[in-house]
Amino acid sequence: MSRALVVHQAGPGVSVQDLGRTGYLSEGLSRGGAADVLALHEGAALLRQTVGAALEMAGFGGRFELTAPTRIALTGAPMKAMADGRALAWQASHLLDAGSVLEIGGVTAGSYGYLTLGGGLATPPRLGGQGAHLAAGLGRVLQAGDTLPLGHDAGTATGDLLDVADRWAGGTLRVLPSLQTDLFPADQRARFETATFTRDTRANRMGVRLRPPGAGFGLAAGQSILSEVIVPGDIQIPGDGAPYVLLAESQTTGGYPRIGTVIPADLPRIAQAPAGAALRFAFVTRDTGLAAERAFRAHVAGLARHIRPLVRDPAQIPDLLGYTLISGAVTGKEET
Partner 1 sequence: MGDGQVSERFPQIAPVGLDGLLVRFGDRLDEPANRAALAFRAAVERAGWDGIEETSTSLVSTFLRFDPLWLSPDDLTVQLRHLLAAEDWYARPLPEGRRRLTIPTCYDPALAPQLDEAAEAAGMDRAQAIESLSGTQLRVTTIGFAPGQPYLGTLPPAWDIPRQTALTPRVPEGALVVAIRQLVLFSVSTPTGWRHVGQTAAPLFRPDSATPFLLRPGDEVHFPAISRDAFDRLRRDPAGGVTQEALA
Number of residues that bind partner 1 (CB under 8 A): 39
165/226 with CB nearer partner 1: 226
Q: Is 106 in the site for partner 1 (CB under 8 A)?
A: no
Q: Which of residues 157-196 bind partner 1 (CB under 8 A)?
A: 176-179
Q: Is 231 in the site for partner 1 (CB under 8 A)?
A: yes
102/259 with CB nearer partner 1: 259
239/314 with CB nearer partner 1: 239
**Beta carbons of 58 and 112 less than 8 angstroms apart:** yes
136/310 with CB nearer partner 1: 136
Three-state helix/strand/coil letters over the chain? CCCEEEEEEECCCEEEECCCCCCCHHHCCCCCCCCCHHHHHHHHHHCCCCCCCEEEEECEEEEEEECCCEEEEEEECCEEEEECCEECCCCEEEEECCCCEEEEEEECCCCEEEEEECCCECCCCECCECCCECCCCECCCCCCCCEEEECCCCCCCCCEEECCCCCCCCEEEEEECCCCHHHCCHHHHHHHHHCCEEEEEEECCCEEEEECCCCCCCCCCCCCCCCEECCCCEEECCCCCCCEEECCCCCCEECCCEEEEECHHHHHHHHHCCCCCEEEEEECCHHHHHHHHHHHHHHHHCHHHHEEECCCCHHHCCCHHHCCCCCCCCCHHHHC
**Beta carbons of 49 and 119 less than 8 angstroms apart:** yes
125/332 with CB nearer partner 1: 125
Please give the Cα distance from 240 to 267 (Å, whole number).
23
Pick the binder of partner 1 from 263, 271, 279, 307 (CB under 8 A): 263
Pick the binder of partner 1 from 6, 25, 82, 109 (CB under 8 A): 25
Nearest distance from residue 19's CB to partner 1, in Å?
13
Q: Is 264 in the site for partner 1 (CB under 8 A)?
A: yes
Candidates 293, 301, 303; CA nearest to 265 is 293
86/294 with CB nearer partner 1: 294
Site string for partner 1, 288-307 (x = CB under 8 A): -xx--xx--x----------
Nearest distance from residue 138's CB to partner 1, in Å?
5
Pick the binder of partner 1 from 87, 98, 127, 325 (CB under 8 A): 127
Nearest distance from residue 12's CB to partner 1, in Å?
18
Pick the binder of partner 1 from 87, 144, 229, 317 (CB under 8 A): 229
27/187 with CB nearer partner 1: 27
Nearest distance from residue 47's CB to partner 1, in Å?
27
Pick the binder of partner 1 from 191, 251, 275, 300 (CB under 8 A): 251
Please give the Cα distance from 28 to 41 (Å, whole number).
27
Q: Which of residues 267-286 bind partner 1 (CB under 8 A)?
A: 286
Nearest distance from residue 326's CB to partner 1, in Å?
46
Per CB under 8 A, residues contacting partner 1 are 22-29, 126-127, 135-138, 176-179, 226-229, 231, 233-234, 239, 251-254, 261, 263-264, 286, 289-290, 293-294, 297
